[in-house]
């Protein structure tokens, strides 16, 4: 049992290149920074999905600084003229939607992590019981196979005689 589905984030459109509609050739550094930001956004979304809705770093908080750290982009870059009214606005909208679903405090994150851990402990207990039952069925099946082999050997002896 995985718990609730946390694919809500994957539908968010990442920020678009501010130079997308310009006739000019885009600056390679700008494009590289945008690609790193997009990759960091996808990575963060995947980590939240894999951790039952909890961001595993930065005390569970996803911020503009955290995204920039993950993308290896200086936060000041988002303040320059190229990004201030485009990329930064899109990132802030993405963060707002993302943070609606995440716990915002250390205590809130701790509570969510504890709830996930409790669910995992219950799942381990359930799987342990299922494993024991499967082991018992396997032992019975192996015993039956042994009996059938003995019976088969006796029948072969009778057939030869």
How far separated are the first and last CA of the chain, in Å rounded? 58
Rounded Cα distance between 50 and 122, Å, is 18
Please work out, in degrees rounded to the nearest 5, the angle formed at the alpha carbon of residue 41 by the alpha carbons of 81 and 9.
Answer: 120
C-beta of residue 112 within 8 angstroms of C-beta of residue 48: no
Total domains in the chain come to 2
Same domain assignment for residues 113 and 68: no
C-beta of residue 18 within 8 angstroms of C-beta of residue 86: yes
Same domain assignment for residues 76 and 152: no
Domain that holds residue 115: 106-161
The pLDDT tens digits of the residues spanning 22-60 come to 445 678 888 888 899 999 999 998 888 888 777 888 877
The pLDDT tens digits of the residues spanning 2-17 come to 444 444 444 444 445 5
């Amino acid at each position: 049992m995985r718990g609730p589905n946390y694919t809500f984030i994957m539908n968010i459109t990442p920020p678009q290149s501010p130079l997308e509609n310009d006739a000019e050739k885009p600056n390679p550094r700008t494009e590289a920074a945008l690609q790193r930001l997009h990759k960091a956004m996808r990575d963060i979304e995947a980590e939240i999905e894999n951790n039952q809705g909890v961001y595993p770093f930065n005390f569970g908080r996803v911020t503009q600084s955290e995204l920039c750290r993950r993308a290896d982009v200086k936060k000041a870059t988002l303040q320059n003229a190229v990004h201030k009214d485009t990329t930064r606005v899109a990132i802030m909208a993405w963060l707002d939607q993302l943070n609606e679903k995440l716990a915002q405090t250390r205590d809130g994150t701790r509570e969510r992590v504890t709830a996930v851990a409790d669910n995992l402990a219950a799942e381990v207990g359930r799987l342990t019981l299922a494993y024991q039952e499967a082991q018992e069925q396997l032992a019975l099946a192996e015993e039956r196979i042994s009996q059938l082999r003995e019976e088969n050997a006796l029948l072969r002896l009778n057939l030869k005689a």
